[in-house]
Structure formats: structure tokens, C-alpha cells
Amino acid sequence: MEIWRKIDRAFAWFLQAMAWIAAAAVFVIMLLITADVMSRLLFNKPFAGTAEIVSSIIIVVCFMEIPHVAAKGAHVRSTTFYDKMSNTWKCVTDILAALIGVIVYACIIRASWANFINAIKIGEAEIAGSLRITTVPGRFIIIFGSLLIILEFINEICKLIYKLRTGRDLAEKGEAA
């Protein structure tokens, strides 16, 4: 079990790093929009492609942050019935929710894959005036972020099954391996 704990900690660290990338992307969006507005107001010359660049960066923010949110258990949920459940039923409910998450994000990967490959083949880009912004990184991030959240859901399912079988969290030390 110690190796699982190490992998879990390393994966949690990696998801935290992805969340920091998302936070940096939000900062870049803020700087870009501020500079665009100031350029528009002061010089009557807005930056070309600001909307397209921001829409591309938002994809990074969403798909790099979601796996970290799942790892922290910070998704929004209604707990009206959940709080009244026994610990066993809470685990079962969480396993079912994670399984649904795996299916949903696998469908996102499946739906996105062909478009990602096509974007690479044709050099797909959004055009804003004379500015050409490739869509390949955004399409890759959708697949990469979806894969990360699937891995997090599988990790969570394993921890919940362990908890159902032993009555202890995987993070607890002291059990026999």
C-alpha cells in the first residue's frame, strides 16, 4: 500500500502543478484583456485576436483545473441526501459518480480525438485579421485534461473500494501490506 500512497501523492502534486498552470493562464487572460482595453482607450488601437486568444486560454484554464478540483473533492454537489447516508452508501454513491465521470470524460476524448488529429493534419487555426492562432494546443488540452480527470476518478474509485473493504482510508498508515 505504501507504493500506492507514493503514486497518489505524486499524482496529487502533478494535478496541483496543472492547477498552477491554470492560475497562470487566468493571470495571462487578465493582463491581455487589460492591455487590450487600455490600448483601445488610449490609442484607439485594440489588439488583434484578443477574443480568440482568450477563448483558447480559457480551455486551458478549464481542463487543467478540473482534475485538481476532483482530486480535492471540491466539485459542487447537493448534499441534502448525501449527508443522511451511512458511510458505506456514501462510498457507493461516490464510486457511481466517479464511474459516470469516467464515462463522460471518455466520451469527451472520443468525440475530440478526430478533431485533434484533423487540426494537426490541416494546421487548423482561427484567423483574427492578420493574426493566425492555432487550435491544436486547445484541442490537445481537452484530451489531456480529460485523461487526467479519468485517472483521478479511477484513483478515487480504488481508494473508495479500499475503504469499503477495510473501513480505513488508503492514506492511513499502519495496515499490513
pLDDT class of 168 with cuts at 50, 70, 90: confident
Task: Name residue 126's beta-bridge partners.
Answer: 133
Dist. CA 71–CA 156, nearest whole Å: 8
Name the 3-class secondary structure at 132. strand
Lowest mean pLDDT among 12-26, 85-99, 121-135, 145-159: 121-135
Q: Higher model confidence: residue 148 or residue 126?
A: 148
Sign of CA dihedral 144, 147, 153, 158: negative
pLDDT at residue 173 above 70?
no
pLDDT class of 131 with cuts at 50, 70, 90: confident
> What is the average per-residue pLDDT within 141-159?
96
Q: Give me 44's grid cell.
A: 484607439
Average pLDDT score, the chain: 91
pLDDT at residue 175 above 80?
no
pLDDT at 130: 77
pLDDT at residue 95 above 80?
yes
Question: Among 151, 76, 78, 145, which residue's Cα sits nearest to residue 116?
Answer: 145
Beta strands, E only, the chain: 125-128, 131-134
18 exposure class (CB count in 10 Å sphere: 0-12, 13-18, 19+):
buried
> What is the average per-residue pLDDT within 135-158?
95
Query: Alpha-carbon dihedral of residues 150, 151, 154, 156, nearest 10 degrees?
Result: -110
Give me the percent of the chain exceeding a pLDDT of 90: 71
Based on its alpha-carbon atoms, the radius of gyration of the chain, rounded to whole angstroms, reads 21
Highest mean pLDDT among 2-6, 25-29, 132-136, 163-167: 25-29
Dist. CA 143–CA 59, nearest whole Å: 11
pLDDT at residue 120 above 70?
yes
> What is the average per-residue pLDDT within 138-161?
96
pLDDT at 74: 84
* pLDDT tens by residue, 41-57: 999 998 888 888 898 89
